[in-house]
């Protein structure tokens, strides 16, 4: 049977780049791109889908004979705190729709992104292990823990092949993040290249796990294409790229753009970041399906500055 992919939340920071990669890999005609709104920038087949609408997801799955779903639609950590009940409703209802439709339609594989936001005070802050205690403090984190457990439930009870990664903060030049606590690590490069001062909403020493876009896209495809027997964790895999603080990245930027200046004005997102790991142990992903990151902070900084300089000139 040929692969027919449905992507929800395809217009998001990760979705837009993952969509283009999957389209190049499987063919434009084999990827159904969807989001709650049509941005007008999509190649190929686009369908407006509110993933909390069961009937709508079902009708698109039937119309295109979908065989795999990448369910990316979700409200992120910072935005989620503005309206916790709505965030819970959207994040959990959409996932349960996808899982149930996948089960009833014999979908081959489902991808579900989790996040470092699943961790809280119960987990070690450095090199946080895959199986650390999960007591998140944001509604986004709670919804991701819930989602991981539902993913495992559908695998154990129905044999549904759901695969998941706990993403760190994602850094890329192709798209802008929205509503996350790690968003500063993208904004900082835009301001640096535009020669503007950057006001950072986290304190200078707040280290968080981060990853470059190319690494995160490759990890997702490697996980999804790995033989099923290699997937030993059916909740979600820790994934690490690099780990740095705002000060670390500011110093790295200043090596290339010496006039770069930064101010620190921590806001409510500082409290969210304080409960997250500083670095992540991803040895389980390395052992099970061969994960290896390629980009360190120096490579990320050079690539971001080059790409954004080209973009703005």
User: Hey, which residues are catalytic here?
Assistant: 140
- Which one among 20, 32, 33, 116 touches ligand AKB, defined by CB under 6 A? 116
Q: Of these, 117, 216, 223, 304, which contacts ligand AKB (CB under 6 A)?
A: 117
Q: Which is nearer to ligand AKB, 32 or 76 (CB)?
A: 76
Q: Does 277 bind ligand AKB (CB under 6 A)?
A: no
User: Judged by CB under 6 A, does residue 181 bind ligand AKB?
Assistant: yes
- Give the CA distances from residue 229 to residues 62, 99, 232, in Å, rounded to whole numbers and listed in that order: 28, 20, 7
State which of residues 12, 180, 241, 246 lies at the interface with ligand AKB (CB under 6 A): 180
Of 52, 77, 137, 301, which one interacts with ligand AKB (CB under 6 A)? 77
Nearest to 5 by CA among 16, 13, 27: 27
Q: Which is nearer to ligand AKB, 111 or 167 (CB)?
A: 167
CB of 117 to ligand AKB, least distance (A): 5
Q: How many residues bind ligand AKB (CB under 6 A)?
A: 11
Note whether 171 binds ligand AKB by CB under 6 A: no
Find the DSSP H helices in the chain: 13-26, 54-63, 77-80, 84-104, 139-158, 184-193, 213-225, 246-256, 268-274, 283-289, 297-312
Report the distance separating Cα 105 and Cα 184, nearest Å: 40
Do 57 and 103 meet the contact criterion of CB atoms below 8 Å apart?
no
Sheet holding 68-71, edge to edge: 45-48, 31-35, 5-8, 68-71, 109-115, 162-167, 237-238
Cβ burial 144-182 (10 Å sphere, 16+ → b, else e): bbbbbebbbebbeeeebbbbbbbbbbbbbbebebebbbb
Residue nearest to ligand AKB (CB): 180
Should residue 94 be labelled a site residue for ligand AKB when binding is judged by CB under 6 A?
no
Smallest distance, ligand AKB to C-beta of residue 223, A: 17
Q: Supply 125's token pair.
A: 């802050």
Maximum CA extent, the chain = 58
Stretch that binds ligand AKB, among 123-131, 177-185, 243-251, 285-293 (CB under 6 A): 177-185
- Rule CB under 6 A: say whether 128 interacts with ligand AKB: no
Closest distance to ligand AKB from the beta carbon of 181 (Å): 4
Q: Which of 9, 15, 120, 169 binds ligand AKB (CB under 6 A)?
A: 169
Q: Does 200 bind ligand AKB (CB under 6 A)?
A: no
**Residues facing residue 162 across a β-bridge:** 110
Closest distance to ligand AKB from the beta carbon of 227 (Å)? 27
* Residue 182 in the binding site for ligand AKB (CB under 6 A): yes
* Residue with smaller CB distance to ligand AKB, 78 or 98: 78
253, 189 contact by CB (below 8 A)? yes
Distant-in-sequence, close-in-space partners of 205: CB < 8 Å, separation ≥ 6: 245, 246, 247
* Residue 311 CB, nearest approach to ligand AKB (Å): 21
Does 130 engage in binding with ligand AKB (CB under 6 A)?
A: no
Q: Which of 42, 115, 235, 245 touches ligand AKB by CB under 6 A? A: 115
In terms of C-beta density within 10 A (0-12 exposed, 13-18 middle, 19 or more buried), how is residue 216 classed?
buried
> Of the two residues 23 and 143, which places its CB atom closer to ligand AKB in the complex?
143
Cα 206 from Cα 154, distance rounded (Å) = 36
Nearer to ligand AKB, 77 or 235 (CB): 77
Binding site for ligand AKB (CB under 6 A): 76-77, 115-117, 140, 167, 169, 180-182
């Amino acid at each position: 049977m040929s692969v027919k992919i449905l992507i929800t939340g395809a217009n998001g920071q990760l979705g837009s780049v993952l969509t283009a990669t999957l389209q190049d890999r499987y063919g434009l005609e084999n990827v159904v791109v969807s989001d709650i709104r049509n941005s007008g920038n999509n190649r190929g087949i686009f369908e407006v889908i509110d993933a909390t609408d069961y009937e709508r997801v079902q009708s698109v799955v039937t119309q295109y004979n979908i065989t795999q779903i990448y369910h990316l639609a979700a409200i992120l950590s910072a935005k989620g705190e503005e309206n916790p009940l709505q965030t819970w409703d959207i994040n959990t209802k959409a996932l349960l729709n996808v899982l149930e439709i996948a089960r009833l339609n014999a979908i081959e594989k489902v991808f579900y992104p989790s996040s470092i936001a699943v961790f809280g005070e119960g987990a070690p802050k450095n090199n946080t292990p895959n199986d650390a205690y999960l007591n998140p403090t944001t509604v986004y984190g709670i919804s991701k823990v819930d989602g991981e457990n539902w993913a495992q439930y559908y695998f154990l009870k129905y044999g549904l092949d759901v695969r998941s990664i706990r993403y760190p903060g994602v850094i890329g030049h192709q798209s802008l993040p929205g509503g996350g606590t790690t968003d500063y690590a993208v904004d900082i490069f835009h301001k640096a290249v535009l020669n503007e001062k950057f006001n950072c909403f986290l304190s200078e020493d707040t280290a968080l796990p981060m990853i470059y876009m190319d690494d995160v896209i490759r990890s997702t495809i490697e996980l999804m294409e790995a033989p099923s027997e290699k997937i030993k964790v059916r909740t979600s895999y820790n994934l690490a790229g690099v780990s740095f603080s705002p000060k670390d990245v500011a110093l790295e930027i200043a090596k290339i753009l010496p006039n770069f200046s930064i101010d620190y004005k921590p806001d409510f997102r500082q409290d969210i970041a304080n409960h997250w790991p500083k670095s992540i142990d991803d040895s389980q992903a390395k052992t099970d399906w061969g994960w290896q990151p390629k980009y360190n902070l120096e490579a990320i900084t050079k690539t971001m500055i080059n790409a954004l300089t080209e973009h703005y000139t």
